[in-house]
Amino acid sequence: MIRTGHDGNNVHSVTEELHSLIPATFTQPYERCAKLPSGRWIVMAPTLSPRIYTSTGWVESPTLSKPTVDVSATTGMAYLTDGTVWQNSESLTGQQLFSESPDPLRTYHYVDASPQGWLLSSLTGVGSPVPLLGMPVHVEGVDASVTPAVVGAGDVGVDDLSATAKPGKGSQRALWVMAPIGGSTSFRFRSPATTDNFLKLSCDTATVSNDTANAADMQLTITGTGSDSQNSPLNLKLANVASSVRWPVMVKTMKKRTVKVAVHPIGYEDANGSVLSPTYLPTKVALKEYLDNVYGLQVNVNFEINYINQKNIRFDLDGDGKTDVSSPPEPDSEMAKICVDAVGPSSVANIDVWVVAGTTLYRVVGYTFDKGSQNPRSEIIIDGGLHGDPNLDKNLVILKVFAHEIGHVMIGLGHPDGGLDPVKIYGPARLEGAEKYHPMRLMYSSVSAESLPGHRIVKKEWDLIEAWLVSQEVKGYL
């Protein structure tokens, strides 16, 4: 029998009141009801899947099939008996929602939810149950550089992906926002906040454009403060509660840095002295703009590009008219040795890139190797012929390859999808369970129509880029 419920405004605990509100008398052993944002009613029980009232009567929810404690009448978020919060077929765990503690023994059990989504839960597993008052919030990236702004952008300094992955390589227990020192990141802040039930926002290492969240959906900007990169929480304080709610929306402030890249065009000279230049070579302006957009918005890095005069190399070492290099190149391969020995790395660059006339040289479009430089894995060879899908815009492909290979220098080897070789080599942020988003990540292994626009860099990769930048500073290279 229905014992309690809410209709979007008021909570009812009298059985007669409830049965006068819901569309039809409900005799099955359901204990709680709620009016959804759509206007439909839902009934719930701790051990039964919920049912929704439609034109055909009470039916099982087609998407929400797990036993449910309660549903917020204004946000549509459902609080499940297994300790997760559900919305639009996706869920977050109690660990992700309420605690930064790594203790896996702590278990969340939801007790009640108000019509506005304020949540009362209990934390068990360590001593006596601890009551927690919280609310479901979510952050998404906003690309404010275009009009109208693109909400939900994944490559603008907000990582709402890593928290959805299974625990493991690269996963995060928080939603992350990068706050650039000397700049700003736009993000969407969603919560059940209202003018009466508002949140006060603050951060020890950043300033937020509006310190009060008083609407369910707000666009905010955040700017890093201080002079050094730091991690800190976005503090959320309930308006009428004395103590702040600990909430895992975290902020990484990053100071602005400039990385120097030297580009070395390499021409292929045959036995007769004829020279084949790289077919695809981006202009200095186009390359800088592309790299600044990819890395500037996500890790506060911009680039200084220096083009070196083309060097023509006769890869036909024995004069038989054939290329005498391995295919594809491997570390310390003939290709790497020839390029480094013939040209040499730039004395002022953090990263050297050789773009080689590639119509017959080898099959890969990019390769990061460790040879001849003061910085490990700071050299890149790119196939200037760009074999591959003929339907792709090769001028965009070459830019994507530059950004991807530079990512390997700063992040490390491997790919989130494991790469194309039979033996998979996964990168440091595999994010297992979030595979459907892999093509939109910068470090995805292949270039296709789907993955070409993908530039997303996730929190684990932010940290590795930060570590590489610090190492360059320590060595005096930045």
Please tell me the predicted confidence (pLDDT) of residue 453: 92
Kindly list the structural domains of the chain, giving each domain's residue range(s) and its CATH number in brackets, ordered by start.
4-134 (no CATH), 138-254 (2.60.40), 257-474 (3.40.390.10)
> DSSP states of 85-97 as a string?
EEETTEEEEHHHH
CB 203 within 8 A of CB 222: yes
Cis peptide preceding 148, ω within 30 of 0 = yes
Strand, helix or coil at 355? Answer: strand
Strand, helix or coil at 362? Answer: coil
CB 186 within 8 A of CB 166: no
Non-local (6+) Cβ contacts of 55 within 8 A are none
Please tell me the predicted confidence (pLDDT) of residue 278: 84
**Alpha-carbon distances of 221 from 141, 191, 270, 300, 389, rounded to whole Å:** 10, 16, 56, 15, 39
Please tell me the predicted confidence (pLDDT) of residue 39: 78
Residue with tokens 């449910």: 68
DSSP annotation of 103: -
CB 165 within 8 A of CB 432: yes
What are the tokens at 191? 């919560």
Task: Going from the first residue of the chain to its last (478 residues), give the mean pLDDT of each consecutive group of 10, the final group possibly shorter.
Answer: 61 64 67 77 81 83 79 68 67 55 46 51 48 66 81 88 85 90 94 78 95 91 94 80 61 96 85 80 95 97 95 71 52 60 76 73 47 52 66 88 91 88 86 90 91 95 96 85
Burial class (CB in 10 A: 0-12, 13-18, 19+), 412: middle
Other residues' Cβ atoms within 10 Å of the Cβ of residue 25: 7
pTM of the model: 0.74
Please tell me the predicted confidence (pLDDT) of residue 199: 82
Please tell me the predicted confidence (pLDDT) of residue 131: 43
Residue with tokens 């292949």: 446
